[in-house]
A and B are shown apart, each in its own frame.
Chain A
């Protein structure tokens, strides 16, 4: 394999692994903040214990998210030096702003929160977790603005042989960025809510800590309901934005080969990229795709054949990723509605609880597939329409990248196994042992 392919694989591995941990940080921090605020407002200690129990899991998850985040920043320089040189004026600034404005706040106050249970008043302690929640979400905002710029570059001029910043406000306020932010953050909240509901279901199925996990479940299910609705409605609008600004991605997402007016939506498709057609298409809704993408049954949808073969993304990959994400999205909505309706007697519905338990991994799958659509669907471009991925890679020896790629796979696999084992172990033990671990380690802290 050459440096380009190895660098792509390494970046994919590092990013996908990182994003196993990011969404739970984004969503659980908000849930923890709500728990602690409820404790402050009601004085009910069960809410404080909830914050401690879920907080321990949060910290394990957070640790892996933090240490794997640096990799991403480093890799732009190590593996994608031509990209960095070409767009650093804009893209580098967004990363630097993220670190200065958000990541410092998050990394500093997470420690105050973890070590501050005894030293701070409940109110002040709740403020620290709100700061963590705010800054981690703010951090996501800047990173997603940077990613959106790769999807749809705006506010720049090509000068001195590179892309230079022309209008920062345009970069920050472009609609595509805000669609991406709402979409990704809602997905993170859904994932966190399903995580909390799933773990709660496990305990409720065993009829232990009923009140504690019912409260957790009820809080999470309301969260899930709000954000699955947001996600489905906004996801539709998001698709409309993609149709407008990334026609080659839309064509791959839907596996449309011919440019057609009043394009149909097929419920079931098997793409056949070798022959530039679909092997199977059925469940056809006439004009459905035109309607979904442009809100007009008669509008024209560009097909893949409108693009040179070298400028098409991998079709089957993008198509399947998109379908899986959408199907799961609707599944989450249905589950959130059912769960919400049953929330007051959820412990009496073991079959439903089992579905929630086994649903824990699904939002992870949906999130990763969503990124697959975004990133693979953007190929062959690293910056859509501006710079190809093949022109972005560093002029370095493939052997170096091969070694580091293997190292990443080994180290990350190990960390992943350890982290999820620890998360499972803490989740299983439940709140009693979590709040009374004995000895000096009574705080949610270190050592």
Chain B
């Protein structure tokens, strides 16, 4: 039971990370295309400036919880996905620095340099998280001893790449909606229009990915066994449609929340389909690492549950306060 609770919390942590940092990743990916001039660029940076750091901690917590609750999964997953994870890490390093250092000099070359790093530093993780998660859904080449027999290239299979494209589209829709909330004038208009256009691409890729998932993975197994779980993908579809309905009415905040629900449901759909596995072996299902064969001791899981139940609500409370504190538009706050 404890293992199942921690499995659920593990999935939820990833979902929250994707919702929060997802808009940073999306805006960064779109930044070279949407910011026409210096004032647009400032608006782009300011839309993320106060939040990116707090958002990134959800990733650190997701990593920390994997380590604490499922140490064997943490060990095998992180060492198997070595190159992909370190690429994500380098990207996150440079995008954080770009966010903080760009304003320190007014020289054009200095700013363009950090703008380029902001783009790669956000686009890289957006794509690679998708590739990584699609491969987790599909299973990777791990043997009985937890040794990985693939490479970075073997992660770039068609299904993995489809996951990368899907995540990139999810985050860019999410990010352009955030920018539409946070900016004004022509930039706001462009961001809103872009969200609408990207939505169509997202809808097409999402359908293709769901179909490919049927052929490439066993994710649907759990859903067939417990059809009530189909509520999750249905909610995802509903939220996806909701995004478009709100975009049509120029209700950016509501559209963004629909997008947030969509991201949560997509993540839970994948994670729910994997249950109880955290790391599926594509060599032999018997080698898969699950919430039960890779978990920490009962004492650790109990203590950590206590810590999570007390502190995560506190974190959520003050982060909500901070989001409200900074208000809606970055232009007005200055």
Write out, one digit per residue, whether chain A residues 39-83 have a CB within 8 A of any chain B CB (1) or not (0).
Answer: 000000000000000000001100110111111011011110110
Of B75, B100, B312, B334, the contact of A85 (CB 8 Å cutoff): B75
Query: Do A411 and B54 form a contact, CB below 8 Å, given A81-B76, A447-B102?
Result: no
Chain A residues with CB under 8 A of B308: 100
One of B161-169, B194-202, B265-273, B299-307 contacting the partner: B299-307
> By the criterion CB–CB under 8 Å, are B99 and A446 in contact?
yes
Tell which of A90, A101, A394, A396 has the most Cβ of chain B within 10 Å: A394
> By the criterion CB–CB under 8 Å, are A98 and B89 in contact?
no
One of A111-119, A318-326, A344-352 contacting the partner: A111-119
One of A102-110, A308-316, A361-369 contacting the partner: A102-110
Chain B residues with CB under 8 A of A394: 75, 79, 82
In Å, the complex CA distance between A69 and B334 comes to 31
> By the criterion CB–CB under 8 Å, are B93 and A411 in contact?
yes
> By the criterion CB–CB under 8 Å, are B103 and A111 in contact?
no
> By the criterion CB–CB under 8 Å, are B319 and A96 in contact?
no
In Å, the complex CA distance between A440 and B39 comes to 11
> By the criterion CB–CB under 8 Å, are B322 and A165 in contact?
no
**Interface presence of B2 (CB below 8 A):** no
CB under 8 Å from chain B, chain A span 260-311 = none
> By the criterion CB–CB under 8 Å, are A104 and B315 in contact?
yes
Within the complex, what minimum Cβ distance (angstroms) separates A426 from chain B? 8
Chain A residues with CB under 8 A of B66: 77
Within the complex, what minimum Cβ distance (angstroms) separates A224 from chain B? 28
**Least CB separation from B71: chain A residue:** A88
> By the criterion CB–CB under 8 Å, are A407 and B90 in contact?
yes
> By the criterion CB–CB under 8 Å, are B97 and A79 in contact?
no
Chain A residues with CB under 8 A of B148: 396
> By the criterion CB–CB under 8 Å, are B45 and A447 in contact?
yes
In Å, the complex CA distance between A103 and B60 comes to 9
> By the criterion CB–CB under 8 Å, are A164 and B60 in contact?
no
**Interface presence of B318 (CB below 8 A):** yes
> By the criterion CB–CB under 8 Å, are B49 and A100 in contact?
no
> By the criterion CB–CB under 8 Å, are A63 and B96 in contact?
yes
> By the criterion CB–CB under 8 Å, are B68 and A92 in contact?
yes
Chain B residues with CB under 8 A of A104: 54, 57, 61, 311, 315, 319
Chain B residues with CB under 8 A of A108: 53-54, 57, 315, 318-319, 322
In Å, the complex CA distance between A168 and B41 comes to 49
> By the criterion CB–CB under 8 Å, are A77 and B74 in contact?
yes
Query: Do A73 and B63 form a contact, CB below 8 Å, given A88-B74, A411-B93?
Result: yes
> By the criterion CB–CB under 8 Å, are B315 and A77 in contact?
no
Tell which of B53, B59, B307 has the most Cβ of chain A within 10 Å: B53
In Å, the complex CA distance between A63 and B98 comes to 10
> By the criterion CB–CB under 8 Å, are B96 and A66 in contact?
yes
**Interface presence of B51 (CB below 8 A):** yes
CB under 8 Å from chain A, chain B span 74-89 = 74-79, 82-83, 85-86, 89
> By the criterion CB–CB under 8 Å, are A107 and B78 in contact?
no
> By the criterion CB–CB under 8 Å, are A100 and B315 in contact?
yes
Query: Do A92 and B318 form a contact, CB below 8 Å, given A74-B89, A78-B86, A99-B57?
Result: no
> By the criterion CB–CB under 8 Å, are B71 and A67 in contact?
no
**Interface presence of B56 (CB below 8 A):** yes
Write out, one digit per residue, whether chain B residues 319-334 have a CB within 8 A of any chain A CB (1) or not (0).
Answer: 1001001100000011
CB under 8 Å from chain B, chain A span 142-175 = 159-160, 162, 164-166, 168
In Å, the complex CA distance between A272 and B308 comes to 52
> By the criterion CB–CB under 8 Å, are B64 and A415 in contact?
no
Chain B residues with CB under 8 A of A441: 103
In Å, the complex CA distance between A168 and B102 comes to 44
**Interface presence of B104 (CB below 8 A):** yes
**Interface presence of B214 (CB below 8 A):** no
In Å, the complex CA distance between A173 and B155 comes to 44
> By the criterion CB–CB under 8 Å, are B64 and A73 in contact?
yes
In Å, the complex CA distance between A89 and B68 comes to 6
Within the complex, what minimum Cβ distance (angstroms) separates B289 from chain A? 10
Of B60, B75, B99, B319, the contact of A81 (CB 8 Å cutoff): B75
**Interface presence of B237 (CB below 8 A):** no
> By the criterion CB–CB under 8 Å, are A96 and B65 in contact?
yes
Of A100, A404, A418, the contact of B312 (CB 8 Å cutoff): A100
Q: Please name 26 pairs of A and B residues whose Cβ atoms are closer than 8 Å in the assembled complex, sorted by A.
A: A70-B56, A70-B59, A70-B93, A77-B78, A81-B78, A85-B146, A88-B74, A92-B68, A92-B71, A93-B296, A95-B68, A96-B304, A100-B61, A105-B315, A108-B54, A111-B49, A114-B50, A162-B71, A394-B82, A396-B148, A401-B82, A418-B97, A440-B42, A446-B46, A446-B49, A446-B103
User: CB within 8 Å of A: which residues of B?
Assistant: 41-42, 45-46, 49-51, 53-54, 56-57, 59-61, 63-69, 71-72, 74-79, 82-83, 85-86, 89-90, 92-94, 96-97, 99-104, 145-148, 296-297, 299-300, 303-304, 307-308, 311-312, 315, 318-319, 322, 325-326, 333-334
